[in-house]
Structure 1
Amino acid sequence: MARESVDWVHALGLIDSRHRLHRLRRADPAGLAGRACPDGPADGLRLLTDLISWLFVMDDACDEDGLGADPARLAPVIGLLLDVLDRGGDPAGQLPPGSGPLGVALDDLCRRIRAQGRPSLLLRFVSQVREYLLALLWESANRERRRVPEVAEYVQMRRHTGGVHPSLTLTDLASADPLGPAGCADPALATLDLLAVDLVCWCNDVFSYGKESRAAPDVHNLVTVIAQETGAGEADALQAAADRFNQGLAAYQLAEEALRASGGDDIQAALTSRRDWVRATYDWSVAAARYA
């Protein structure tokens, strides 16, 4: 699966140097996908792996290659990617001129999702990736102005910059027992999704903080915004971020137990996949070299 996804990245031009290929391999997108969706079919797992690879490439272009430091430079890229999303993977349509490898790869993901015959999940995916892209512009504006957001604002926007929502959607798509549209629209499941997304993102922030603090510090980390808002030192801010994660995990467990008790058989697989994502993020963060 890892080799196939690397071949996909190469074939579509997402990686153009040994350095970037090495960086993607260290991120181990296949390892994360496999932990998060351990029982998924090969084609579903491959689609999830390719999405995670695309997200890593996009994030690295913004965070490490300088694209996200200048909103005027990032905005045209985001605009083209939004045009790609608006096509919804239509196999008869033409890509917008200048879409580039990121646009070609995103269109390929949308086409493959569309071919699964689950239009509600395609629409959900498109909406979630759109929110992710627009949130990258928020990050870019903060970098340009050297602005550190308040904790509440950061927590809200981090739910979108993490790219977790579309990853959960493709995990649902890979499920042998997928939820129908009514189940996906369940407010209780939507609340659980927010808790799961927070946990994944906060876990990522705690593990990535050491690497980020050694390089040019980025304001987009839970530890950083807590330190800025409270005046806490680094150690206290790290502890506060860990405490927030632990409190969120306790809330998640209560919400999950309530849904398992009250929900039907059709929701059990969705609950398991969200639990898998939380655990997978922790285990992958420990094992992968992305934050070394």
Structure 2
Amino acid sequence: MAQQSIEWALSQGLINSGHRLRRLRGADPAGLAGRACPEGPTDRLRLLADLISWLFVMDDACDEDGLGAAPTLLAPTVAALLDVLDVHGASTDGPAAATAGPPGEALGDLCRRVSAAGTPALLLRFVGGVRDYLLALLWEAANREHGRVPEVAEYVQMRRHTGAVHPSFALTELAIGTLSGAASRTDPALVALDLLAADLVCWCNDLFSYGKENLDQADVHNLVVVIAGGRSGRDESSALRAAADRFNESLSAYLTTEAALLASGDDDLRSAVTARRNWIRATYDWSLAAARYA
């Protein structure tokens, strides 16, 4: 499946045969998808892997290739991609379709496949999650332009969206085969679990990526940097410990909330819990093995 996902990215024009191809191979998107959904059918696992590939390409374009250095640079790309989401990936002609380029073509392909494989409600969840991700990229770009380190509470909220965790959860539930209904998704305990799981996935990523991201110039979009740069004035080592403590405390809260949900015996909730638990463990194991943060 790894080669198929790379071939999809090549066919969509997201990468070429140069360093972007090597970078995506090293990120191992299919490996992350397989860890997050070890028992999913191949076609739906491919969909998740292709989403992760698309996200990695977008993140690298913003973080490493300069696209996200300022909102004025990124806004035309975001606007074109929002056009794709507005029509749920339907093929259209005209300036908007041309402006979207390969990222837009690939996003349209993902939307069409989600629509074919899932329910209208799932498609709306997916589109909404990707929309939040794109708008959060503009927030990051504004911070980079002004050298601004966000406050911890602000960062925690926005990190859930820059991490694109919610659309990834949606496709993982699709791959597992049991989608939680609207009534289940409004359960306060599941809402709390969803936020805790998103935080844990993102903070795990921050802790593993901190060393690479701060070799030359500190990236302000990292929990460790935010803690160190906040009002506490912590040094690097204490900020690392504080970030790890925050992760461990949230993991404890997650396990308590998860146990209460599983005790209800609701199969829809069990599926949602499985998807989130898989992602937390998958992120940790993949981070240890992938070359992305080496």
TM-score, normalising length: structure 2: 0.96
1:109 aligns with 2:133: no
> 2:259 is matched with which residue?
257
Report the counterpart of residue 163 of structure 2 in structure 1. Answer: 162
Structure 2 unmatched ranges of 5 or more: none
In the alignment, the residues of structure 1 paired with residue 107 and residue 186 of structure 2 have an alpha-carbon distance, to the nearest angstrom, of 25
Report what 2:218 is aligned to. Answer: 217
AA at the equivalent of 2:40 = G
Which of 244, 247, 250 does residue 249 from structure 2 map onto?
247
Q: How far 1:209 moved relative to its partner? A: 0.3
Q: After the TM superposition, which residues 125-136 of structure 1 pair with which residues of structure 2 at under 5 Å, given as runs? A: 125-136=126-137
Mapped to 1, the partners of 2:217 and 2:21 lie a distance apart of: 22
Is this contact kept in 1: 2:180–2:268, CA < 8 A?
Answer: yes
1:76-95 alignment runs, 5 A limit = 76-90=76-90, 93-94=92-93
Query: Which one-letter code corresponds to 1:223 in the other structure?
Result: V
Tell me, in whole angstroms, the C-alpha distance in 2 between the residues paired with 1:12 and 1:96.
14
Give the partner amino acid of 2:21: L
How big is the shift at 1:16? 2.5
Q: Distance in 2 between matches of 1:164 and 1:255?
A: 19
User: What is the Cα deviation at residue 17 of structure 1?
Assistant: 4.2
Are positions 1:16 and 2:22 aligned together?
no
The residue aligned with 2:272 is: 270
Q: Distance in 2 between matches of 1:117 and 1:170?
A: 9
Do the aligned partners of 2:118 and 2:174 also contact (CA within 8 Å) in 1? no
Q: Aligned partners of 2:170, 2:269: CA distance in 1, in Å?
A: 14
Give the counterpart letter for 2:293 in structure 1. Y
The aligned counterpart of 2:148 is: 147
Q: Which amino acid aligns with 1:143?
A: R
State the 1:268 CA deviation: 1.2
CA distance in 2 between counterparts of 1:202 and 1:132 reads: 16
2:70 is matched with 70
- The reply on whether 1:199 has 2:200 as its aligned counterpart is yes
- What CA deviation, in whole Å up to 9, does each residue of 1:216-268 have, x standing for no partner? 21100000010011111111100000000000000000000010112412321
CA apart distance, 1:181? 3.0
Q: CA deviation at 1:270?
A: 1.6
Which residue identity does 1:274 align to in structure 2?
Answer: R
Amino acid at match of 1:69: A
Q: Which residue of 1 aligns with 2:292?
A: 290
Equivalent residues, number? 291
Aligned-pair Cα RMSD in Å: 1.2
Q: Distance in 2 between matches of 1:263 and 1:75?
A: 46
CA offset at residue 191 of structure 1?
Answer: 1.4
Gaps of 5+ in 1: none
1:25 equivalent to 2:38? Answer: no
* Percent of aligned pairs sharing the same letter: 67
CA distance in 2, matches of 1:219, 1:10: 31
Instruction: Tell me: CA distance 1:112–1:28, structure 2 relative to 1, closer, same or farther (3 Å).
Output: same
Matched letter for residue 231 of structure 1: G
Aligned partners of 1:185 and 1:83: how far apart in 2? 28
